[in-house]
Amino acid sequence: MFVDTVFTAAVVFHAGLVPGLAVALIHWGLWAMVESVSPFVIVSLAEVFIIWRLRPVGTPWPGFRGERAFAETVSVCATLMLLYIATSVSASVLGGLIDYVVIMMEDYRPLGPGHVFGSGFYGGEIYPLAIGILSRVPINIIDRFIVVFGGFFIALGLGRLKRRFRVFDDGAGAKGGKVFHL
């Protein structure tokens, strides 16, 4: 459903903020040529900023063994879990807010699957903004797990390929260099 952002996350993990924003905007532009322009690009841009700000940096996995490697692995996993939670919450809240604003601007009763789910689950006695946010939580829990962990491991694989074939060599050795990029 929303798995298209996994590659945007991989670019942010691997290359940083500006390339991640560029990929998100290019994806949005290409999608706008196929369908109508969507305000939900705000969710993708927020996700790029969150991933960039909280991403694990400087993890020297290739050259370390033993306790230090275990500590680094635990640190990276904890950081990825924090990213997972932050992106899930932000995507649910921003998506619900955008949906609510669109509903208010177009002045119609929402009939999307999220609102049908929310109305049926909560008996229709919850404010539409809360339904918009809460109905996004289940799918964002699954999707953002795939986005954060999948994007990280895709970026990790890209970094290993880069070091293996010495593509865009930045001066750090292929093994155990002082500079580590995903």
Least trusted range by pLDDT, from 21-25, 44-48, 78-82, 113-117? 113-117
**Which residue type sits at 133?**
I
pTM of the model: 0.75
CA dihedral 102, 108, 109, 114 (to 10 degrees): -30
* Every domain of the chain and the residues it spans: 5-165
pLDDT of residue 177: 46
User: Helical H runs in 17-136?
Assistant: 17-34, 41-54, 66-106, 113-122, 128-134
Q: What is the pLDDT of residues 121-179, one digit of tens each?
A: 555 566 777 878 888 888 899 999 999 999 998 888 887 777 777 655 555 554 544 44
Task: Select from 129, 102, 101 the least CA-distant residue to 115.
Answer: 129
Q: Is the pLDDT confidence value at 60 over 50?
A: no
Neighbours of 85 (CB within 10 A): 13
Q: What is the pLDDT of residues 65-122, one digit of tens each?
A: 566 677 777 888 888 999 999 999 999 999 889 888 887 777 655 555 555 565 555 5
Q: Which of 7-11, 39-43, 97-101 holds the top average pLDDT?
A: 7-11
Report the distance separating Cα 34 and Cα 125, nearest Å. 37
Contact 166, 174 (CB under 8 A): yes
The residue assigned the tokens 């459903």 is: 1
